[in-house]
Amino acid sequence: MLQRAGLASALIARPQLIFLDEPTSALDPVGRVEVREIIEELRAEGVAVFLNSHLLSEVEQVCDRVAFVKSGRVLREGTMRQLSGGVLSVSVRLGSLPPGLLDALQGWAQVHRQHVYAGAELELWLDHEDQIPQIAQAVHQSGAPLYALTPHRPDLESLFLELVTESGEARRATV
């Protein structure tokens, strides 16, 4: 209730800028959802919300931009797409790999990895999410049975661990 009361008192003046430090800390699942909904409503109203949290899945759900901060210094910032290098990884599982399909796929994607067995598994790197239907269409036109086409977005935890591991500073870094 203390978290809810603090949030309510911060919002009563209808600010255009609000700083929230661990707003879902110690809340039950219903309370966390309510706080996320409040943040979404504030964003829709044009309020700038700065959120500090160690719960990276919460940050992913509500934030447009993310900054990784250590000792008051921004290590990296941007949208999720910018932080992940702008690449969308897509796994494709096929019943077979017909001749010419890889060439067709390379028109829209970089074939990053492939594993051929009785069927085939590919990992494609796309520049844009709107290329996914083109990949599905190319597979369909090749006649290959398509068992899965799964986009993978890196999560903040993975990006954070990669960043702090690169810098050798896994301790004391926060989001």
pLDDT tens readout for residues 84-129: 777 788 999 999 999 999 999 988 888 888 888 878 999 998 888 8
Given CA atoms 18, 24, 27, 33 in this order, what sign does their dihedral have?
positive
Fold of the domain built from segment(s) 88-152? Alpha-Beta Plaits (3.30.70)
Provide the CA 51 distance to its chain's centre, in angstroms. Answer: 16
* Separation between Cα atoms, residue 108 and residue 144, nearest integer Å: 18
In CATH, the architecture of 2-64 is 3-Layer(aba) Sandwich (3.40)
pTM comes to 0.60
Q: Return residue ranges of the chain for CATH 3.40.50.300.
A: 2-64
Q: What is the pLDDT of residues 5-54, one digit of tens each?
A: 878 888 888 899 999 888 888 888 998 898 889 889 898 899 999 988 88
Q: Starting from the edge strand earliest in sequence, which strands make up the sheet with 88-94, in order? A: 110-116, 120-126, 88-94, 146-152
Q: Return residue ranges of the chain for CATH 3.30.70.
A: 88-152
